[in-house]
């Protein structure tokens, strides 16, 4: 099968502190040409003739190494028809630059790109619409640029307006739109005009949570329809649910390209190290204040400090601390977050039912060294990376003594027993071993 996108040895070099002239996309040239046709005629000719002098000016960044930066360096990959690809990486890894090059907003310094099919893109707010034109006019303009006839746009028009939820402002120039309204219309146009290739950047983060979910569902439908999607996002859960393959960019280079689950693991493993225990020798250099200081926080399983507890073993989160305030009361809570930094659950040592309380949560502490332990029951967490947020506070709401993010982390490993009978990946955020019972009624 012939790829719809072929990228070979793609590189992009920027000069720091210098505004790149670059070349405009054909879309941008047409949009600007609507209001100033004579002024832009020369630019349009330059576009269609690929003026060699302008390209040379924007691609010869040399001089000293200190004033240049490679946003992309020797990136190569092929995308097959119908594939949904997630592009992930840290800020500054080159994700948005890659989509801009694929969208023809900027040009590469070196390398080759071949794209077969009609491309629609949703990048940063402000790209692709003319601010002086109304929402209605911009819908027809974008459809025309994509090569659609007016009758085709008419068929899609009501669907676009309904999806964007801005019917009341349809005949208002888009320069008066809020960023949220702009994104809603831009996504509705990009996703509903039947592009063969859809490029979407993190711009969806501008919308509210409900509309983000609506957009993700729409992209899922587009992907199931056999069209190709490249999706840039820091939302690992959305990437995992939407994409089958992933590209991990690291400092402008392609660190991995294949299965999305492995891609996410590669990306997340580079962000945080596993730290199963932390400790401090004395209160002088420990986190806390004059009321309480931490001595140690650790992961313990089967009586041993570990960074790799097993799925089928209890996990003890031990907190050692010096209480420095006479007759103070203490409430402890931990938050358990998964490898994608999503909160799975929160637990306090002061619960509603008295018989389940930690007895010390209702007592006044004397000065001294204490240990508080929270037990995460076996067969609850799936294999994977987890981190702990620790809160220690008094009985008055808002009386925070200690709040430490990512104070410890650990990697839950599959048990040998489960491995032997393994039938595939367990879905869901957690994996409790629940009680089942069957009885014969007749």
Q: Which residues have a Cβ under 8 Å from the Cβ of 97 and sit 6 or more positions away? A: 12, 71, 72, 106
**8 Å CB contact between 369 and 329:** no
**8 Å CB contact between 74 and 257:** no
- As for how many domains the chain has, the answer is 2
CA angle 369–375–377, rounded 5-degree value: 170
CATH number at residue 288: 2.70.50.60
Q: What is the pLDDT at residue 178?
A: 87
**Has residue 333 been placed in a domain?**
yes
Residues 196 and 297 in one domain: no
Residues 346 and 259 in one domain: no
Residues 101 and 33 in one domain: yes
Is beta strand 331-338 parallel, antiparallel or unpaired with respect to 343-348? antiparallel
**8 Å CB contact between 308 and 411:** yes
Q: What is the pLDDT at residue 306?
A: 96
- Alpha carbons within 13 angstroms on the beta-carbon side of residue 109 total 19
**Has residue 190 been placed in a domain?**
yes
Q: What is the pLDDT along the chain (442 residues), one digit of tens a residue?
A: 789 999 999 999 988 765 555 444 445 555 555 544 444 444 444 444 443 333 333 444 344 456 788 999 999 999 999 999 999 998 889 998 999 999 888 899 999 999 998 888 877 655 668 889 999 998 998 888 777 788 988 998 999 999 888 899 999 999 999 888 888 888 888 888 778 898 988 766 666 778 878 888 888 888 888 889 999 988 888 888 889 999 999 999 999 999 998 898 888 877 667 899 999 999 999 999 999 999 999 999 999 999 999 999 999 999 999 999 998 889 999 999 988 888 999 998 876 555 666 888 778 899 999 999 999 999 999 988 899 999 999 877 678 999 999 999 999 998 876 655 555 667 788 888 889 999 999 8
Show which of 222, 251, 269 is a domain's final residue. 269
**Has residue 438 been placed in a domain?**
no
Residues 359 and 395 in one domain: yes
Residues 338 and 379 in one domain: yes
pTM of the model: 0.67
Residues 181 and 291 in one domain: no
**8 Å CB contact between 7 and 75:** yes
Residues 71 and 207 in one domain: yes
Residues 405 and 304 in one domain: yes
Show which of 225, 244, 269 is a domain's final residue. 269
**Has residue 436 been placed in a domain?**
no
Residues 192 and 116 in one domain: yes
**8 Å CB contact between 22 and 106:** yes
Straight-line distance from the first to the last Cα atom of the chain, in angstroms, rounded to the nearest whole number: 57
Q: What is the pLDDT at residue 318?
A: 97
Query: Among all chains, which residue has been given the structure tokens 């001089």?
Result: 63
From residue 191, alpha-carbon distances to 25, 27, 208, 264 in Å are 19, 17, 18, 25
Show which of 243, 269, 295 is a domain's final residue. 269
**Has residue 216 been placed in a domain?**
yes
- What is the C-alpha separation between 103 and 22, in angstroms, rounded? 13
User: Domain span at residue 133?
Assistant: 5-269
Residues 262 and 323 in one domain: no
**Has residue 130 been placed in a domain?**
yes
Nearest to 267 by CA among 383, 385, 431: 385
Residues 64 and 130 in one domain: yes
Q: What is the pLDDT at residue 110?
A: 94
CATH number at residue 62: 3.40.50.300
**Has residue 93 been placed in a domain?**
yes
Residues 265 and 283 in one domain: no
How many beta carbons lie within 10 A of that of residue 220, not counting itself?
14
Q: What is the pLDDT at residue 22?
A: 47
């Amino acid at each position: 099968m012939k790829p719809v996108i072929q990228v070979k040895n793609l590189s992009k070099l920027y000069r720091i502190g210098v505004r790149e002239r670059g070349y405009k996309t054909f879309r941008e040239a047409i949009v600007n040409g609507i209001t100033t046709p004579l002024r832009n005629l020369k630019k349009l000719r330059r576009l269609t003739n690929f003026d060699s002098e302008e390209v040379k000016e924007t691609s010869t960044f040399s001089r000293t190494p200190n004033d240049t930066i490679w946003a992309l360096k020797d990136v190569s990959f092929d995308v097959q028809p119908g594939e949904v690809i997630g592009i992930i990486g840290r800020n500054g890894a080159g994700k948005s630059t890659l989509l801009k090059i694929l969208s023809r907003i900027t040009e590469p310094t070196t390398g080759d790109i071949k794209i077969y099919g009609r491309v629609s893109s949703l990048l940063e707010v402000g790209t692709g619409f003319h601010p002086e034109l109304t929402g209605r006019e911009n819908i027809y303009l974008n459809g025309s640029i994509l090569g659609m006839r007016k009758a085709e746009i008419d068929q899609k028009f009501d669907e676009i307006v309904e999806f964007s939820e801005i019917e009341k402002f349809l005949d208002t120039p888009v320069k008066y739109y809020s960023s949220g309204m702009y994104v809603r219309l831009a996504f509705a146009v990009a996703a509903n005009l039947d592009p063969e290739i859809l490029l979407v950047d993190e711009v969806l983060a501008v919308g509210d949570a409900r509309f983000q979910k609506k957009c993700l569902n729409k992209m899922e439908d587009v992907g199931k329809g056999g069209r190709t999607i490249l999706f840039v996002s820091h939302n690992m859960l959305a990437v995992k649910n939407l994409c089958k393959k992933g590209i991990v960019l690291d400092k402008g280079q392609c660190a991995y390209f294949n299965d999305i689950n492995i891609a996410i693991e590669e990306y997340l493993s580079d962000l945080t190290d596993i730290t199963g225990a932390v400790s401090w020798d004395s209160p002088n250099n420990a986190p806390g204040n004059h009321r309480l200081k931490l001595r140690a926080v650790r992961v313990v399983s089967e009586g041993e400090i570990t960074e790799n507890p097993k799925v089928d073993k209890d996990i003890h989160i031990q907190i050692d601390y010096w209480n420095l305030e006479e007759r103070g009361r203490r409430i402890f809570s931990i938050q358990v977050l998964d490898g994608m930094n999503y909160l799975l659950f929160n637990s306090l040592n002061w619960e509603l039912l008295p018989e389940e309380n930690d007895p010390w949560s209702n007592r006044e502490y004397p000065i001294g060294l204490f240990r508080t332990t929270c037990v995460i029951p076996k067969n609850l967490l799936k294999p994977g990376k987890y981190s702990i947020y620790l809160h220690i506070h008094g009985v008055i709401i808002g009386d925070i003594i200690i709040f430490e993010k990512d104070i410890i982390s650990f990697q839950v490993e599959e048990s040998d027993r489960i491995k032997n009978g393994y039938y595939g990946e367990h879905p869901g955020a957690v994996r409790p071993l629940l009680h089942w019972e069957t009885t014969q009624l007749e």
